[in-house]
Structure 1
Amino acid sequence: MISEGPVLPSKSEVTSMVRRLVLVLATLFFSQLLSAEIVTQKFNWSPVNGVQRLRFDWNDIAISEIRFDLGDTFKPLRVSSAKAIVRVDNNSARDQEVGVALAIFDADGTMLAAGSGGIKVGNLNKGERDTFTVRFPYVFETKPTGKWKYQPKARPTEPPSSR
């Protein structure tokens, strides 16, 4: 009687198992990334000495202050130094990855400025506070004041047609 040794999988079976394992690991990794959430909130423009006080608390992440610096325009590059510094507090019992973006609109809903502070490398640890700088490099004549300053040019009237 001939005894057989252990049966080894073929090369194609090993390749198939490795591909499945990589797929499962990639799915687990990206499922953590997909759990991110986006929250938006609208506030009235009312800074006092450049500081806007807020009461925004979501998922134990709090934003209570935005400091605005309307800056200057650098010529000839035509780049603005306007920025906002957003204070973020992590009041939760776990580390959080936080990102901040701001958009400023006038009373009619026209966007005056927009920028992103992005996310920082690593997490905002539980119980810690950090600031995010949001730059507005393309804010020139119309500084955000909550009111629209643009005055459209009057259109010339067409002369009456002679028929």
Structure 2
Amino acid sequence: MSSGFVSPALQPGQRLARGVCRHLRGHDFVSVEELVPIPGLRVDVMALGPKGEIWVIECKSSRADFQTDRKWQGYLDWCDRFFWAVDAAFPLDLLPDDTGLIIADSYDAEILRMGPDRPLPPARRKMLTQKFARHAAIRAQMARDPGFVSAF
């Protein structure tokens, strides 16, 4: 029996995020999309590793999408590693060499370059891990109960 729910079409950046999240699960990372670490910043994908490591992945679907992003350096203070996720046609020479690089599509991804390891301070890691858990729990509840109203 069909629920009548039809998933809306994914935008290009959302398709990249889906492939990234699928790939990271194979590395024992769990992921959430569109997490706000602090007001004014919203990361495309935040991933939590088996040892508590926190990675941020920004998905860029085009040259224009990358060139209009003025906030990405602010994300560096909110992760242990930072990555760009782009498709195979993206002009890679635009991306800074001192950041991670993931090539992705809707179904999978491949890490081409690891971003440098910048360990988070313990208090920030604790705060982000709690925010990650709450974000994931709210998203799970929203999926189970479409009538649920979230505060974010």
Larger Rg belongs to:
1
TM-score bracket, shorter-length normalisation: under 0.3
Structure with a larger share of its residues in helix? 2
Q: TM-score, normalised by structure 2?
A: 0.28
